[in-house]
Structure 1
Amino acid sequence: MPFTQCVINETLRVANIISGVFRRTVADVNIKGYTIPKGWKVFASFRAVHLDHDHFKDARTFNPWRWKDNNLGTSCSGNFYTPFGGGPRLCPGYELARVEISVFLHHLVTQFSWVPAEEDKLVFFPTTRTQKRFPINLQRRR
């Protein structure tokens, strides 16, 4: 299910449930001429990076095909895709989460059809969501 993984990647990029994480600096950190003193808390915003046009072309457009090569260095610039964190704090359940959503999407797409119940649109503030929670009419396929 390679395309399913592309859809999952793009969904997590555009509308991740975790918008970011707090971290405490263990030493003074200099970034672009600013100093963040040791001991201060900083908020690393996944959302700000995932929706940054410098890292993802047409960042506010849902486009699962951007992941088709399954190579972040080719489809999206650098290692800026972090829906499950990274390094020593990588979410221990990320593989299980991917399997669960893959199985759910497989059954949804193969066993049901749906149409929007009414017009809706994406909004990006304060989080990425749909205005009306995207109501749908769902029917089991025969």
Structure 2
Amino acid sequence: MTDSVQRDSAVLVHFTLKLEDGSTAESTRANGKPALFRLGDGSLSDGLEQHLIGLKVADKLAFDLPPEDAFGIASPDMIQYFSRREFIQAGEPEIGAIMLFTAMDGSEMPGVIRGISGDSITVDFNHPLAGQTVHFEIEVLEIDPVLEETHANPVG
């Protein structure tokens, strides 16, 4: 076990993610369940990983991430237009509602209803926090924690 976060570490953390207006978008402290981040697996942005590398257990760090290092820049290519008849089975959409859409490959993708005009419904598939600078507060609880084994130990 290493004493500081490395490029391939698993890190158990408590974090709070705040928006520019000071509102909290997500916090592991709210439910008392820390998050497990795995550096190097592609699930975290390079910018976030860079802030974690070198931290030790009990370290606390607060930092801002610009959109390109957080949830990306909002892309106009991620805004799609649908016909109202494509929503017949889902019911009447409401502006601001988040709905799951099935892609051609069968995967599901959330989209936010941004506009309804006559027969046209505008859906935004950008991450809801795309284009925003976010403020992280992170506390490192464990580095490379020993996770519970999923297989049974033989009794002998």
TM-score higher than 0.5 here? no
Q: TM-score range by the shorter chain?
A: under 0.3
TM-score (norm 1): 0.23
Which one has a bigger Cα radius of gyration?
2
User: Greater RCO between the two (CA within 8 Å, min separation 6)?
Assistant: 2
Which has more helix, going by share of residues?
A: 1
Which has more strand, going by share of residues?
A: 2
